[in-house]
Structure 1
């Protein structure tokens, strides 16, 4: 009888030991899992600068959503282009998805090694003075000379702080045009231009691709022989410390690229069809998983 009791007690002891050991391993496993999840979570917030241009919205929304999917928090700050570059230089902002070169080279020179040209979105974006196609005799900037009064001696441009505004003023001087640049927001400029085009009156304004203006209206960019408004390289600019502070985010942004046609289609969806920008961006991500994985370095 004693032997039987001893055997039962031994068996019970072994069950308790094995059970405690298994529980300890399970607890340890849970702890490791939590540790792995903690290492994967990102405490960093990536701060985007956003200019009031339609071309800035799609790439910013796409990059923002992908970074959120990677575990980062994101913030978007709306300001003019001068404010964006100032914020990047101070570290108040981390990323600008819509820098135009050589137009924005002046900002890079001003802030030196505080900024970095991180990736090229698309290499050839046309910009310049634009007129409607019904102005058949106006095909170059020099054609405007002597007929400035037909335009009310005005050309319409974007906000005063933009590099394009400075270049337009330099163009007016270089061609000795009796014209004044009237500055406004992108929306204000387009409202003025559309009002005159609806009456088929002479109008000249600043234009660029990607933009819905070329989808909605029959336009032509005026040529010039003095090197103004060369084709632009549209690039991602970051604060120079981002690569150390958020290396995975930096790697993704350094691999960033998107076609000008894709951006223009998304602008049309947002501006013309009234779709939510975030929804449009999410649709692009879902339809371009291979490209997203490539940009993330997967």
Structure 2
């Protein structure tokens, strides 16, 4: 009998403990009362001063290009300070534009117009639009260090090819800039050999030539850390093979109605290409994207205020 009674006591004790645990667990994730007796959520008060919680989530399309990262993370930092939730979706350019057209994505910070992405803009013109020009000087073309004198354009290379050992250093076979460069060599009637390599291989040649100020001709594009590391000149291309692109912020057309303050912010957005390049260089040196974006916002508060002054 005593054994049965002992067993009963143990079962009762275990059931009592379980009941306490269940009761304590019921409040997890629910609204709680603050010291004033008013209801408050656990995260309330964590927004920046002056920011309000918003229902809208802003979805960014993010390509794997280094140029996409700085403006995306800076805009993310600003929007979160305005009270928005921000989500980033990595994809290639085609998938980003498809997502924008469907409304799955709201914004893409790295649209190159008119050349690279004009086809996407025309294909989805009913559902997407350019909100602003992020920066107007997305250059690409043939490049020389600024210590090379007398060479300001591709035409200036005629008769001066031996100064560069009759070589232009480029990137991999199959790349658009590689095919275009070979066409340029023929069109401009230049005695040049196109040396195809990887981006890293090309830049290793630059690093080998520049310290001793040896002339070198190679491919360049902005934004890129090469313009942080070296003083470079992009050669004028009289035939128009390489034209400077504007980099735009592209949004889904419904964003203006769904999140008008965010849309207004994107409409006011701009950044200097030099700042994009500097941030890319710091990321490649091991810097954290979010920390660097936070530092940029802190150091450019006047510009940030101008971008959001009409967004609230």
Give TM-score scaled by structure 1 length: 0.69
**8 A Cα contact 1:46 1:73, kept in partner:** yes
1:113-154: CA deviation from partner (whole Å, max 9, x where unpaired): 222110122223432222455766865435667969967787
Match of 1:81 in 2: 93
Match of 1:155 in 2: 170
Match of 1:236 in 2: 249
Q: 2: distance between equivalents of 1:158 and 1:110?
A: 29
Match of 2:289 in 1: 277
Q: 1: distance between equivalents of 2:131 and 2:122?
A: 15
Match of 1:69 in 2: 81
Q: Tell me the SS of whatever aligns to 1:46.
A: strand
**1:63 Cα deviation (Å)?**
0.6
1:188-220: CA deviation from partner (whole Å, max 9, x where unpaired): 51x011222244398654422332101213433
Selected match of 1:256 from 243, 250, 269:
269
Selected match of 2:141 from 115, 128, 144:
128
**Which moved further from structure 2: 144-153 or 40-49?**
144-153
Q: 1: distance between equivalents of 2:98 and 2:196?
A: 25
Q: Tell me the SS of whatever aligns to 1:83.
A: helix
1:260-283: CA deviation from partner (whole Å, max 9, x where unpaired): 2332332333234x3211111101
**8 A Cα contact 1:155 1:179, kept in partner:** no
Change (3 A) 1:293 1:159: farther
**1:99 Cα deviation (Å)?**
1.7
Alignment of 1:171-190 (within 5 A): 171=184, 175=188, 188-189=198-199
Q: 2: distance between equivalents of 1:108 and 1:207?
A: 25
Q: Does 1:211 align with 2:224?
A: yes
**Which moved further from structure 2: 203-212 or 66-75?**
203-212
Match of 1:286 in 2: 298
Change (3 A) 1:219 1:113: same
**Which moved further from structure 2: 75-84 or 195-204?**
195-204
Q: 2: distance between equivalents of 1:83 and 1:168?
A: 28
State how many pairs are aligned.
257
Selected match of 2:108 from 89, 96, 99:
96
Change (3 A) 1:81 1:170: farther
Q: 2: distance between equivalents of 1:139 and 1:112?
A: 38
Any stretches of 5+ residues in structure 2 without a counterpart? 1-36, 45-51
Q: 2: distance between equivalents of 1:49 and 1:58?
A: 13
**8 A Cα contact 2:135 2:248, kept in partner:** yes
Change (3 A) 1:153 1:252: closer
Any stretches of 5+ residues in structure 1 without a counterpart? 1-28
Q: 2: distance between equivalents of 1:206 and 1:90?
A: 36
Match of 1:23 in 2: none
**1:253 Cα deviation (Å)?**
1.0
